[in-house]
Amino acid sequence: MKNILLVDDESKILKILKSSLSKQGYTVYTAANGQEARKKITEIPASLVFLDMKLPDASGLELLQEFIGLYTNKVYIMMTAFGNVDNAVSAMKAGAFDYMVKPVKLTELVVIIEKAFEWLGVREENKLLKEQLQQSEIFGGLVTSSAKMKNILNLVERVSTTEANILIQGESGTGKTKIAKMIHMLSDRKQAAFIPVNCAAIPESLLESELFGHEKGSFTGAVSSRKGKFEAANGGTIFLDEIGEISPAFQAKLLQVTQDKTFMRVGSDVLRTVDVRIICATNRDLKKLVEEGKFREDLYYRLNIVDITIPPLRERKEDIPLLVEKFLEKYRNKHQKNYKANRELLNYLIEYHWQGNVRELENAIERAVVLCNGDLLTIEDFPREIRAMKNEGIIDFEEDNVPLPEILDEIERKYILRALDESLGQHAKAARKLGISRQSLLYKMNKYFSENI
């Protein structure tokens, strides 16, 4: 993956750079003119191409314009003498990733190479995520690649065409409303209304009127008759969110409409009938509430003809990269910026516990795109609790009598493993991340991992 093609007519520069970069772990190929560059670029797997602005048989700008249309999966960096900076800027406009002014310092060269390969990695990951996003299950904004969620989607497809009442359970932010809307849109009722009601947001004294309606003069402020949510949903679907929050007194009134779809408006003795499908949702354990006597057992079984339980995000972590890409695409379109998340950031997001689930993830992404410099998101752009995870101790010792040297060794071993993983096994890069020399890293690797080699 770390293959480089250097195109320059100065053989001494090519020899020095090839030797220096090879020691840094890169595979380096060279070409001394345009003709040789055209031949090499078709034969070798170089992802990064350095082009000198002046060559014996061509200009670097001409080669860039030629190559960039033919080999779109590569990154191009121009090298120019000080007096040709204007030409290098022109090359940037033509699609070059960056440019360097000769003489080139090795430290600066390594930095720009790492930036280029990181950008390539991000681009490739984004490409793969977009492909996954297109291939994943997508309906009503819900995307997934996890087996648990795909089983739920299969269940949703099967029950959507029935008239069964459905109870959706899951933590806040898992997507219960999206599942309810999906059921409605896949049903024969999709042309009629989908009426959502947050039972927890309505005072108990007003809930009956809100759901069943009221007659004029039935209570103070009832200056006219008004239909309730059940009548508004006639022919369609009513979605009762946070159903676990309603009082036992109102549960008895709700039981009748779940049994025979009949009810009376507040202040009326006229029995009304509606054709409505009932979908309920809760983040509480209704079965436990039944056992505690806080929720009517008969109502529970009327609502729970089909039970759908949505797993929290921490139990389907494979969905996190897909969701991140989905939200980034939303803000790319909104802000006209090519937002990206690299592998290091995705690792942090995958390991975070996400108590607020998908909703919390989307809010965190929205904050990050607002605060990020440029278009590459970093962990520093995220809320404090997510940033804090980066600095948490990564070792949790259950025993209090573990000797300090063992604790320190284990912490050092874990950080070395993390650095090697993030550096794709490149010793020099991992050593730089750890702030130690390559020789020190090799010594520590031999100390901690020699038995596994």
Across 18-34, average pLDDT: 89
Confidence of residue 144 (pLDDT cuts 50, 70, 90): confident
pLDDT given for residue 104 in this prediction:
80
Confidence of residue 351 (pLDDT cuts 50, 70, 90): confident
Question: Where is average pLDDT lowest: 39-43, 116-120, 213-217, 346-350?
Answer: 116-120
Confidence of residue 191 (pLDDT cuts 50, 70, 90): very high
Average model confidence (pLDDT) across the chain: 85
Output 403 or 287, whichever has higher pLDDT. 287
Confidence of residue 366 (pLDDT cuts 50, 70, 90): very high
Across 282-293, average pLDDT: 93
Q: Is the pLDDT of residue 365 over 80?
A: yes
Across 63-73, average pLDDT: 86
pLDDT given for residue 1 in this prediction:
60
Confidence of residue 133 (pLDDT cuts 50, 70, 90): low
- Name 51's bridge partners: 7, 78
**What angle do helix axes 357-371 and 320-335 make, rounded to 10 degrees?**
40
Residues near 397 by Cβ (< 8 Å), separated by ≥ 6?
A: 407
Q: pLDDT tens across 164-178, in order?
A: 999 999 999 999 999
Tokens matching residue 369 = 């795109």
Task: With CA atoms as reference, report the closest residue to 364 among 375, 266, 352, 373.
Answer: 352
- Compute how many other C-beta atoms are within 10 angstroms of the C-beta atom of residue 162: 14
pLDDT given for residue 397 in this prediction:
47
Task: With CA atoms as reference, report the closest residue to 260 among 241, 242, 278.
Answer: 278
Q: Is the pLDDT of residue 453 over 60?
A: no
In order of their start, the domains of the chain are 3-133 (3.40.50.2300), 137-311 (3.40.50.300), 317-391 (1.10.8.60), 404-452 (1.10.10)
Task: With CA atoms as reference, report the closest residue to 418 among 443, 388, 394, 392.
Answer: 394
232 conformational bin, left if phi > 0, alpha if psi -120 to 50, beta if neither? alpha
Across 331-351, average pLDDT: 87
Confidence of residue 402 (pLDDT cuts 50, 70, 90): low
- Name 273's bridge partners: 262
pLDDT given for residue 135 in this prediction:
54
As a whole number of angstroms, the longest Cα–Cα distance in the chain is: 99
Neighbour-count burial of 67, counting CB atoms closer than 10 A to its CB (0-12 exposed, 13-18 middle, 19+ buried): buried
pLDDT given for residue 435 in this prediction:
75
Q: Could you tell me what percent of the chain has a pLDDT over 70?
A: 87
Q: pLDDT tens across 407-440, in order?
A: 667 767 777 877 777 776 778 878 877 778 777 7
Q: Is the pLDDT of residue 246 over 70?
A: yes
CA distance 186 to 433: 51
**Residue with structure tokens 């008004």?**
226
Q: What percent of the chain is helix, strand and coil (3-state, nearest 5)? A: 55, 15, 30
Task: With CA atoms as reference, report the closest residue to 181 among 170, 190, 172.
Answer: 190
Q: pLDDT tens across 76-92, in order?
A: 998 877 656 667 677 77
**Residue with structure tokens 């797997």?**
45
